[in-house]
C-alpha cells in the first residue's frame, strides 16, 4: 500500500522545517525498505503581508524582535539548538523576512514535475540556513534549477485559490499533516512519522 501524506506548511515556519525534515528522514527509511509514499504539500502563509519586493526584505531577527520583543531570542536559540542536534541549520541571523507566495507557487510547479519534495527541501534550507531572499525571482530560478525543476511562471492563480481553501478549512497554524486519513499537528518525531507511514 502506498502511504499518502498531506502536509500544510509555510517555508518561513521553523516548526514546518523541523516537521518536514523529520518526515523526510522517515520517508527515506520507508523507501529504502521498498515502501512507497506520496507527499502532497498545501500552502499556508504565516505572514501574508511580508514584503514581496526584494528591496523591502529585511532580516528576520529584526522583525521577530519588533513583533515579539527581545525575549524572542530565547525561543530562536532553542530552535537553533534543537535543529543542530538533528543535523539541521537554523541561522536566524542570516534569514530574511520575505513573502513566501512565490515559494509556494514553485512547490506547485515542482509537484507537476514530480519534484515537490526536492523543491520544498531546498526552499527550507535556502530560507533558514543560507539566508537567501525568497522574494527574489533570480534566486528562486537558481533554487529551482538546483532541485531539478524546470522554471515556469504558471500556478499563481491556483496557489492563491489553495491558500484561500486552506484558510477557509480552519487551519490557523502549521505544520499540519494528514497521513492516510489521520490528522497530526506539529513537528512529530521521526519515529512517529515512520510508524504512521509504514
Per-residue pLDDT reduced to its tens digit, 72-85: 889 999 999 999 99
What are phi and psi for residue 42, nearest 5 degrees? -120, 135
3-state class of 176 per DSSP?
strand
What are the pLDDT digits (tens) for 6-41? 999 999 999 999 999 999 999 999 999 999 999 999
Q: Please tell me the predicted confidence (pLDDT) of residue 173.
A: 94
* Angstrom distance (rounded) from CA 36 to CA 28: 10
Q: Is pLDDT of 163 > 90? A: yes
pLDDT band with cut points at 50, 70 and 90 for residue 1: confident
pLDDT score, position 71: 83
Question: Looking at the predicted structure, is the pLDDT value of residue 67 above 90?
Answer: no
Q: What is the DSSP letter of 173?
A: S
Domains of the chain: 2-197 (3.40.30.10)
Contact between residue 83 and residue 18 where contact means Cβ atoms under 8 Å apart? yes
The grid coordinates of residue 184 equal 497530526
What pLDDT band is residue 54 in, cutting at 50, 70 and 90?
A: confident
Q: What is the mean pLDDT of the chain?
A: 96
Dig out the grid coordinates for 114 from the structure.
514530480
Rg (CA), the chain: 16
Kindly state the cell numbers that stand for 185: 499537528
Amino acid at each position: 500500500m502506498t502511504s499518502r501524506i498531506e502536509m500544510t506548511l509555510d517555508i518561513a515556519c521553523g516548526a514546518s522545517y523541523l516537521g518536514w525534515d523529520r518526515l523526510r528522514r522517515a520517508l527515506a527509511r520507508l523507501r529504502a525498505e521498498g515502501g512507497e509514499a506520496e507527499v502532497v504539500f498545501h500552502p499556508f502563509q504565516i505572514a501574508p503581508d511580508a514584503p514581496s519586493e526584494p528591496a523591502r526584505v529585511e532580516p528576520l531577527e529584526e522583525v521577530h524582535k519588533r513583533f515579539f520583543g527581545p525575549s524572542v531570542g530565547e525561543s530562536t536559540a532553542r530552535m537553533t539548538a534543537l535543529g543542530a542536534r538533528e543535523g539541521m541549520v537554523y541561522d536566524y541571523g542570516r534569514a530574511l523576512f520575505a513573502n513566501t507566495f512565490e515559494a509556494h507557487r514553485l512547490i506547485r510547479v515542482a509537484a507537476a514535475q514530480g519534484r515537490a519534495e526536492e523543491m520544498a527541501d531546498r526552499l527550507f534550507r535556502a530560507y533558514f540556513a543560507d539566508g537567501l531572499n525568497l522574494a527574489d525571482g533570480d534566486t528562486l530560478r537558481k533554487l529551482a534549477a538546483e532541485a531539478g525543476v524546470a522554471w515556469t511562471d504558471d500556478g499563481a492563480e491556483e496557489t492563491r485559490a489553495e491558500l484561500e481553501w486552506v484558510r477557509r478549512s480552519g487551519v490557523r497554524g502549521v505544520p499540519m499533516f494528514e497521513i492516510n486519513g489521520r490528522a497530526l499537528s506539529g513537528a512529530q518525531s521521526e519515529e512517529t512519522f515512520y510508524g504512521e507511514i509504514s
